[in-house]
């Protein structure tokens, strides 16, 4: 047997919580906390569980142990944490600690579920960007054009993307967009950009949304995205698919432009 065949691969972990009422608990985790899949065993149920994406929790009927276990907690990592927080608010979950950034480098909030267990939902730090509506106007022009090679490279370096970008491929990069916009300051310096790639049939990809650090948190990213989405509304075919990749802490920003979380897979080609 190969080394790979002799190696154990861990898939996931499933906590088993003692509860006083399996069916009631399953329905709570399904209906209030939002776990999509559920199951029970026995009649009446003496065991059950829920699952949502990669998280699995089981429940076992044991009133005595359940009484002694109240106050224990489960820690669940979440992508798009703010979206889940708003969902739990709408479902009137008992949120005993509100969503906030924690000193250990994560954001999180705590729900006390129906058995008295504390469920801690945690994820990436919350962006402290102000809402675009509250920002004062800035002297910036948004112009539909592709930046020059120098303008593009200056932005890439300014935002720190140069380490992961192939600067030798700039000409090909700038030849690819079907639409692009730049933000210029009052002296016509390019301080932001956004590209739109497409097969010009049904698929569009938003790429290289960049704002110079000196101009960030001033609403310029929103101005760029409004131009991109306006062009899409006018030119993209009905039912066209528009995608982008973004760090988790910026998901709330793109949600303002009707982007929603999706699950997919990526592969990066790395040659040494």
Would you state the pLDDT for residue 266? 81
CA dist., res. 32 & res. 54, Å (int): 18
Which residues are CB-contacts of 268 (< 8 A; sequence separation ≥ 6)? none
Whether 79 shows a pLDDT value over 60: the answer reads: yes
- Mean pLDDT (the chain, rounded): 89
CA dist., res. 212 & res. 187, Å (int): 15
Residues 102-113 as b or e (16 or more Cβ within 10 Å = b): eeeeebbbbbbb
pTM above 0.85, yes or no: no
Would you state the pLDDT for residue 265? 82
Residue 106 tokens, joined? 């994560």
> In this predicted structure, which of 9-23, 36-50, 130-144, 226-240 has the lowest mean pLDDT?
130-144
CATH 3.10.180.10 residue ranges of the chain are 16-123
Note whether 86 and 131 are within 8 A (CB). no
Residue 136 tokens, joined? 């004062």
> Mean of the pLDDT values across residues 200-223?
93
Would you state the pLDDT for residue 67? 95
Would you state the pLDDT for residue 15? 96
* The CATH classification of domain 16-123, taken from the options 3.10.180.10, 3.40.50.300, 3.40.140.10, 1.10.460.10: 3.10.180.10
Q: Print the SS3 string covering the chain.
A: CCCCCCCCCCCCCCCEEEECCHHHHHHHHHHCCCCCEEEEECCCCCEEEEEECCEEEEEEECHHHHHHHCCCEEEEECCCHHHHHHHHHHCCCCEEEEEEECCCCCEEEEEECCCCCEEEEEECCCCCCCCHHHCCCCCCEEECCCCCHHHHHHHHHHCCCHHHCCHHHHHHHHHCCCEEEEEECCCCCEEEEEEEEECCCCEEEEEEEEECHHHCCCCHHHHHHHHHHHHHHHHCCCCCEEECCCCHHHHHHHHCCCCCCCCCCCCCCCCC
236 vs 162: which has the higher pLDDT: 236
User: pLDDT (tens digit, 9 = 90+) per residue, 82-121?
Assistant: 889 999 999 999 999 999 999 888 999 999 999 999 999 9
CA dist., res. 95 & res. 121, Å (int): 11
User: pLDDT (tens digit, 9 = 90+) per residue, 10-30?
Assistant: 888 899 999 999 999 999 999
Highest mean pLDDT among 11-15, 159-163, 191-195, 234-238: 191-195
- Percentage of the chain beyond pLDDT 90 is 67
Would you state the pLDDT for residue 197? 97
Q: For residue 159, which of 110, 181, 192 has the smallest C-alpha distance?
A: 192
CA dist., res. 215 & res. 225, Å (int): 15
Whether 228 shows a pLDDT value over 70: the answer reads: yes
Would you state the pLDDT for residue 155? 95
Residue 43 tokens, joined? 């009649």
**4 confidence band (pLDDT: 50, 70, 90):** low
Which residues are CB-contacts of 187 (< 8 A; sequence separation ≥ 6)? none
Asked if the 132-255 domain carries CATH number 3.40.630.30, the reply is: yes
User: pLDDT (tens digit, 9 = 90+) per residue, 113-154?
Assistant: 999 999 999 998 887 544 444 455 578 999 999 999 999 999
Would you state the pLDDT for residue 272? 64
CATH 3.40.630.30 residue ranges of the chain are 132-255
> In this predicted structure, which of 90-94, 216-220, 256-260 has the lowest mean pLDDT?
256-260
Note whether 124 and 106 are within 8 A (CB). yes
* Polymer length of the chain: 272
42 vs 7: which has the higher pLDDT: 42
Residue matched to tokens 């969902």: 87
């Amino acid at each position: 047997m190969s080394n790979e065949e002799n190696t154990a691969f861990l898939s996931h972990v499933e906590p088993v919580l003692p509860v006083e009422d399996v069916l009631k608990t399953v329905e709570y985790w399904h209906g209030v906390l939002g776990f999509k899949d559920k199951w029970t065993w026995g009649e009446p149920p003496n065991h059950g569980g829920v699952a949502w994406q990669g998280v699995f929790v089981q429940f076992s009927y044991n009133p005595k142990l359940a009484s002694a276990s109240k106050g224990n907690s489960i820690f669940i990592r979440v992508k798009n944490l703010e979206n889940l927080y708003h969902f739990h608010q709408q479902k009137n979950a008992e949120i005993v600690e509100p969503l906030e950034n924690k000193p250990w480098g994560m954001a999180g909030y705590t729900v006390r579920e129906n058995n008295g267990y504390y469920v801690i939902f945690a994820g990436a730090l919350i962006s402290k960007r102000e809402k675009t509506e509250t920002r004062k106007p800035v002297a910036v022009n948004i112009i539909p054009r592709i930046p020059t090679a120098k303008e593009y490279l200056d932005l890439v370096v300014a935002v720190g993307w140069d380490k992961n970008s192939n600067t030798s491929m700039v000409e090909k990069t700038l030849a690819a967009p079907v639409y692009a916009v730049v933000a210029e300051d009052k002296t016509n310096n390019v301080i932001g950009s956004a590209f739109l790639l497409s097969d010009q049939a049904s698929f569009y990809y938003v790429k290289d949304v960049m704002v110079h650090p000196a101009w960030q948190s001033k609403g310029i990213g929103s101005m760029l995205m409004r131009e991109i989405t306006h062009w899409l509304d006018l030119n993209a075919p009905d039912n066209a698919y528009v995608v982008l990749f973004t760090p988790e802490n910026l998901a709330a920003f793109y949600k303002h432009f009707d982007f929603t979380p999706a699950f997919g897979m990526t592969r990066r080609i790395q040659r040494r």
